[in-house]
Structure formats: structure tokens, C-alpha cells
Structure 1
Amino acid sequence: MKHGNGLPDWIRKSSSAVLLLLAGTIYAQSEDASPPAESQSAAMAATVHQLQEQVRELRAAVAEVRSEAAQYRAETGELRRELQATRNQLQSTVASAQPGSTPVATKESETDSAKQAESLTDRVSSLEESSQLLSGKVDDQYQTKVESASKYRVRLSGIVLLNLFSNHGTTDNFDFPNYVPEPTPFNSRGATGASLRQSQLGLEVFGPRLMGAKTTGTVQFDLSGGFPNTLNGSSFGLFRLRIANLRMDWDHTSIVAGQDNAFFSPLSPTSFASLAVPTFG
């Protein structure tokens, strides 16, 4: 039998195998843990790069805003100076125009001030005229339009005329008399009342161009066509055709056909009291 201080061989071999297994496991774990660390560092680098880009963009935007603000301030200051200069010119012009004021400028400056005041007055007058014209056009657009069944325009016109009358003696018509007939025992000596028979209604149609001429048509009615033969006929005036014509207008020539006003008395009627039967006076 041998005696010795060393360990048995199988124990030494087993210990060596266990140590080798532990070393391999630790090395494998270290290799597995290294990729997540590398990916995290790459993500952090990308994030830092993005933040740097955003900071650069913000700095550029702030610089642009500052430059624009400085430009606006300069323009505002220039406008203020121009406004103050204009005010000073106006004050000097007004002071020179006041009676009893002491002249402090030369003849040339006075002439320039007068010209500037005149040009300013002309500009104000022109602006007022333009404003009135625009207001009129806006009012025209706000008016209620008449719609036609075709593409051509139709203009509606008319007048509601109330006549109050008082007659002494006998007349042919109570509301708009023309002559005084010979009185009879059965006629009244006078009459007083009101009438709407002289009210008018008109339509104007704007047609197409024919042979280079503008075509228009006009129709006009009133209620002075007489009375129906009924008990209350005096309350129902009959329609009467006053005007019905067709016009073809060229630059220097016009053709009119139909029933129209008397061409030798274009200003008739001369009074609202005689619209139905105009006077030629």
C-alpha cells in the first residue's frame, strides 16, 4: 500500500473538468452581454445627434425672427418719421392759411405748401368720389333682382301714385279731369276723394345683339283704362297699355317700333297730377 499527501487522480481530473466548464460559461455570458451595451450606445449617439440638429434649427429660426423684427422696427420708425413730417407740413399749411398770421417762409416754400395742399385736396376729393361710386355699386348689388326665364336681363319699374283731389263743379273724370262739360240738373256740384289709378307698372327687357345693334323691349301699364260696368266698378280700374315698343340701337342709328310716348314732347307728363293723360304744355 502506498501512502502520499496528494489527492487521488480522479478527484483532480474532476476538478479540472468543472473549472473548464465554469470558465466557458462565464466567457459565453460575457459575449452575450456585450451586444446590448453596444446597441444602447449607438441609440444614445443617434439621439444626441438628433438633439444637436434640433438645436441648430432652433438657433437658425431665432436668428431669422430677430432679423425680421429688426426690419419691422426700422420700417415702423421710417413710417413714423414720414407721418410726423406730413403732420408738420399740414400744420404749417394751416398756420399760413389763417388770417393775421406772420409769414415765416419764403415765397418758394409758400408756393410748395399751396401746391401740396391743393394736391392733398384733390386726392381727398378723388377718394370721396371713389367711395361714393363703390357705395352705389354695393347698394345696387344689395337690391332685389328680377329673375327671368331666359339668360337675358329684365328690369322691373313702376310707381305707386296716390292722388288726393277736390273738384268744384262738373268734370269728365273726378281724379284727373280733362274738361268741364255743361252742367245738368242731375250732376253734382263737386267731389272729393283719392285715387290710385295713375299708378304705373313697367318691364324692360334687354335682348341679344342683332346685326350689331343692341335690342331692348319696353312694356308699361297703368290702371286708367276705365271702369267695369258694375255696381262697384269705380273701385276697380282697368289695365291700360301705355307703352309697348322694340328698339334696335346702333352707334349712330336707332329703330323704334311699337306704341311709344309722343316723340315731340319727351318731357311729358309735366306733373304727377296728370300721369294718365299728360299735358303737352
Structure 2
Amino acid sequence: MRAVTYDSYAPDNSQLRYGEVAEPKVGPGEVLIQVRAAAVNPVDWKVMAGGLDGMMETVFPVVPGWDVAGVVARTGPDTPEFVPGDEVMAYARKDVVQGGTFAEYVAVAATSVARKPAALDWAQAAGLPLAGLTALRSLDRLQLGSGDVLLVHGAAGGVGSLAVQLGWDRGARVIGTASERNHAFVRELGGEPVSYGDGLIERVRALAPDGVTAVADFVGGQLETTLAVLADGGRHVSIADPGVEQHGGHWVWVRPDGAKLAELAAAVDRGALTVEVAQTFPLERTAEAFDASRTGHTRGKLVIEP
């Protein structure tokens, strides 16, 4: 099958290769997914740079990619949940970095897989799992509910745009940081946009004079602002800054979870959630997709289509 691989860590795209590799084996409790789309996440190129070497085992050559949407090609032994032909999606992170989703096929544990919502196309469905599960886990850790005032750092990004929608769906008032060119987009999602940068604390306080009750940081480096605008007894999480744990917050690291992914699919089905796709790339242009992701200014998701 065709796939993108790298044979060693690199801080750039110099080790990325496009070519033929062996089709993955399908073990008990797994499904083989024919990949229709695979979303790019910053963690993909950070892993390639060795950023998680102290945390996760890596076996080279690595096929990058943790997000996938596609069709079940076949199932391993004792996998009654799915049959060939099912349209599915998954956050396909495994315990070992090796067999990812930037390929024509990927084997995934059935417990990580959920059925694709009919309302999403393949690219949108591929963009939902990691970002959506991250947003959902963040709001669950915040115990966000009706009456809360939520500040989302990075409200126009892949994770932040989903968190804004999920927060609004829970009855919270949502304030989201974004560049001015994305303010209309944040409003469409149900959020109240504020420009990031100098003066952010004052702008948030103008919207929420009593402070916000919850903060979700999907950018990093926002702890000072978070603590300055958080009301007494407020809660905060970050996916990018483990230092929040020293200040009463939670560092969120999302896990594969097919049942939670099905919750997100249900939100899509009832019209409460959609996925913004910024750009798609063919498999052989994965390096370009990584470069676009590195800019940190993408609205929505970048997606690979084999």
C-alpha cells in the first residue's frame, strides 16, 4: 500500500518519504480501515521531531497520523462491533508510535472506532476525532454546564472551534480569542470573539466584569491571562501547558475512546456540531500539510486524502 513514512526523528520534513509499505496486520479486536481521509494535527510533526520520545516508544519506520475516517475493509477475530463496509472514524493513537493513518490502510482497535455521522463528509469526519475528543475531555474536566462563562484560548483552531460549539451546546456563555479575520467565524459557532495579544486581559474583563468561571487553553503560554480573568472558584485546563497543574488547573491529554467519539457523532447528528476544514492535500503532499500546520494560524482542520 502507499504511505508516508520517516526513518528517524527530524525537526523538519527532511525524513518524510512517500512510497510502498506492507499492509498492516489485523489482530483480535481490531478493524482494518481503508483510509478515505486523515487529519493533520500539530502532534504529528512534534512526534516526528522526537517531542514525545521520553513518553512513548517509537519503532521506525513510522507512518505518522492519529486521525482517520474511512471504510472497514476487514475485521480481526472476535470483533462483532463492525463489519466490512461500515463507514467509520477513529482517534487511532496506539501505545507505540509506528503504524499511523497517513496511508491507504490502518489497523485500529475497535474500542477506538465510532460510526461516521452522515452529516459529515470524509474530510470533516477525519478532522473530528482527536480535536473533538480533546475539546470534549477538556469541557468534561471543567465540569462545564449551563450558567458557566467559558473563555477559550484559540477559538478558531481545530480544537477550539469544536470547544466553542460544545460549550454553547451545554448552555454556557463562550468567549473566544481569535484574530480579527476569524471573529465572524467564532460568532457563527456561538462564541463572543476577542482579539488576542496585548490588552487581552482588559478586553475579557470588559465582557465578563465578574470574571469567567472556566478557561480552556488550546494554545499554550496563556497562564498569566487565565489566572487574571478567572473568577474565584473558577476552573481551568490546558492541552499545551503542564504548568497549569501548579496553579489549580488540569493538563489534558486525550485518549482514544470510541464511546466518547460516538457522543460527538450524536452531537453532529442533532446539528449541534460541525467541523471546519481549511484545506485538503493528497498523500504525497503531506510535507506541505505539515508546513501549513506549523504556522499555527490555520482556521479549522488540515486533511490528507490518500
Fold shared, TM-score > 0.5 on shorter chain: no
* TM-score under structure 1 length normalisation: 0.20
Greater RCO between the two (CA within 8 Å, min separation 6)? Answer: 2
* Structure number with higher strand proportion: 2
* Structure number with higher helix proportion: 1
* TM-score under structure 2 length normalisation: 0.19
